[in-house]
Structure formats: structure tokens, C-alpha cells
Amino acid sequence: MLRSIPALGASLAAAIVVGGVTAQLSPVLHQTLGLTAARAISRPWTLLTCAFTQPNILCSLASALAVLFLTRIVEPAHGPRELAKYLAAVIVLSSCLTVAVVTILYYASATSKKSPAKADSAGFMLFKPMGGFEAGLAALLVAVKQLLPDNEVAILGGALSFSAKHLPGLYAVAMVAASLLLGGAVRVIPFTLFGTYLSWAYLRFVQSRNGARGDLSEEFRFATFFPGPLQPPVDKLAAACTRVTGLGASTGSTQPQAAWNYAMGGSVLPGTEDSDAARRRERGAKALEERLGFKKAVPAAAPSQPPAAASSTKEAGQPAEAAAADIEAAVAPAADP
């Protein structure tokens, strides 16, 4: 277990725990490293360091454990350098938008003569240091949704299971509900929601891998973050935004997505078929599921096994070393230059 934890994941978890303990024991360091909306411009480093200054040690431990588990899934596909860049971008941009929200709330309440108590509360938030890894966890969960959309997560001994593609939405709902009940909504809700949306936007339009930019697959469109009944209106809204901004205008073309799939570690050139590579990816995905506790969603009726799959069945008894190699071949990107 410990050997399979990536160095980046271990470093992030350690920073979260140490930062949480420091924020709780040293108010001065919490003021220096935490995000204070009124001082964000004069202290720009706090846009990033605030992610590691959660003053609640229990929340810090929970975030650290989640990071250790999620980076085991995400880092093999993205690489430590790209994953670190992705997390840093999401955290910093989420912090900027959170500062904007807190500032707007302050001025909106300050100009309201009917609610001086709300103005005092907003002013308190304007000068209170904020911290937490909510945006980072949202980024990791969105990356898991992108990599394993058809897998199931089983918890409580299998008593509760759900699809991995629903993880970001469930996380956002849980964090919003918990913050409204337990407090901290002004900090938690912006960090969580902005972190989720910005993570999707980064992976959808920005991330570049081997010359392929973005993931324009139907399975990763913005509407998939919402329940089924809400997806049609969200699709219409997204289509309107596409016409205005031009982002994702090539979604209907298979060429960009084929290039992305190839860049994500597939050994098949766009427009070609390679049954051996497909079998290797299938075995690698199965080994990854067994290693991480995921379960692939099984269709109701399995089709008859073609001749090419017979050799796949024969190869299924390979040792764990071969399965690990299949995982790398299935999801590992090209080495960083």
C-alpha cells in the first residue's frame, strides 16, 4: 500500500497535515499563509498556500487520506509534473474567485441599511484568513471522473456503491450541505464549486498532451455533472455558451478526441484498429480496478466472445507483474521532456 503511494501524493498529504497543525497552533502563521480577502493582492502567495492551512485538524487528516488514495489513480495517467500544475492552477484560480465572492458579499451587505448585522459578518469574513483543500479534492475527483467514468466505487463493505462519474457531484453536494449545517459556507462553497468547474474547464479545454488539447468526449461534457433530468437544459445552456465563446466548437469532430485518446496512452493511431493493444488496455483496466477497489459496470447481457477475445481469456492468468505493466500501457502518458 505505502509503496504504491506516489511521491506527489505523499508530499501533498504531509503538507496538508503539517499546515493544519500549524494553522491551529500558530495564529500568526495562519494569518501569513491563510487567504485573507482584504490582503490577497499584497500577499499573492496565499492564493496557493491557503489550501494547506485548514485550522481543523480532523478536516486536514480527512483531506490528507483522500489525497493519498486519489493520487494513486490520477498520477499514473497525468504524471507528477502535469498533476502538480493542474492542482496549482485550480487552487489559485478558485482562491481568486473566492476572494471576489467575499468582497462582493461585503460591499453588498455594507450598502444595505436594513441588515447591519450582515455587514458586520461580511466584514469579519473580509479580514478572516481562510484555508482548506476543498478545491484540490474537487480537482482530483474530476480527474477520476475523466479517467474512470464507467467504474463503480463500493464503500461500507459493498453496502453502498455508485459510479465514479458521480463523485464530483456527490462531493459538491455533501460539502455544500455540511457547510450550511456546520458553518463556513462563505469559504467552503466557493472553494468547492469553483474548484469543480475550473477543473472540468481545464481538462476539457486547456490541458495539452502530446499535441492534443482538451478532452472533448461526450462522456466528459459539462451536463454529465448533473442528474439525468437536468442534463438536457444544461446541454442547451452549454451549446449557447459554445456559440458565444467558440470553446469546444469542434466537439462534433472525431479527430480531436482520437488524438486525445492516443495521447492518453493508447498505442493505436487515429483511424486504426489494434486488437492486441485493445486487449492490453482491457487487462490493464481490470488490474487497476482490482488494485483500487473499483468495479466495472457489467452490461445485462454479454455478447458472444469473438475469436480475438479467446486469446485475451487465455492471457488473463498472467502474474501481477504483467498486470502492472498493462496498467502503465493503458494509462501512463509519455515521459515528461
Q: Domain of 61: which CATH number?
A: 1.20.1540
Domain contains 212:
no
pLDDT of res. 212: 74
**In whole numbers, what is the pLDDT of the chain averaged over residues?**
77
- Exposure string of 42-57, with b = 16+ CB inside 10 Å and e = fewer, is ebeebbbbbbbbbbee
- What pLDDT sits at residue 290? 56
* Residue 185 located in a structural domain: yes
Whether residue 194 is found in the same domain as residue 288: no
Residue 119 pairs in a beta bridge with: none
Q: Show the domain range for 165.
A: 7-206
Sorting pLDDT into bands at 50, 70 and 90, what band is 308? very low
164 and 291 in a single domain? The answer is no
Domain for residue 104, yes or no? Answer: yes
Task: Among 191, 206, 221, give the residue marking a domain's end.
Answer: 206
Amino acid at 25: L
Residues 43, 184, single domain; the answer is: yes
- Strands 151-155 and 294-296, how do they pair? antiparallel
User: Which range, 108-117, 179-188, 211-220, has the best average confidence (pLDDT)?
Assistant: 179-188
Percent of the chain with pLDDT over 90: 41
| The pLDDT value given to residue 170 | 92
Give me the pLDDT at residue 150, please: 78
Q: Does any domain span residue 262?
A: no
- pLDDT band of 223, cuts 50, 70, 90: confident
The pLDDT score that the predictor gives to residue 189 is 95
What is the chain's length? 337
Residue 295 pairs with which residues in a beta bridge? 152
For residues 105 and 190, is the Cβ–Cβ distance under 8 A?
Answer: no
- Both 160 and 287 in one domain: the answer is no
Q: Which run of H or E residues covers position 161?
A: strand 160-163
Identify which has the larger pLDDT, 117 or 80: 80
In this predicted structure, what is the pLDDT of residue 276? 44
Is pLDDT of 119 > 70? no
Angle between helix axes 307-315 and 275-292 (nearest 10 degrees) is 40
Same-domain check for residues 64 and 174 = yes
> Which of 206, 237, 257 is the last residue in one of the domains?
206
**Residue 25 resides in a domain:** yes
264: in domain: no
Q: How far from 118 is each of 104, 105, 111, 113, CA to CA, in Å?
A: 13, 9, 10, 10
Question: Do 47 and 170 lie in a common domain?
Answer: yes
36 and 162 co-located in one domain: yes
Prediction pTM value: 0.74
Residues 170 and 31 in one domain: yes
- Assess if residue 67 is contained within a domain: yes
Q: Is residue 256 part of a domain?
A: no
Tally of domains in the chain: 2
Query: Higher-confidence residue: 255 or 27?
Result: 27
Does position 85 have pLDDT exceeding 90, yes or no? Answer: yes
- Mean predicted confidence (pLDDT) in 14-25: 94
Question: 189, 206, 223 — which closes off a domain?
Answer: 206
Helix, strand, or coil (residue 213):
strand
The reported pLDDT for the residue numbered 117 is: 53
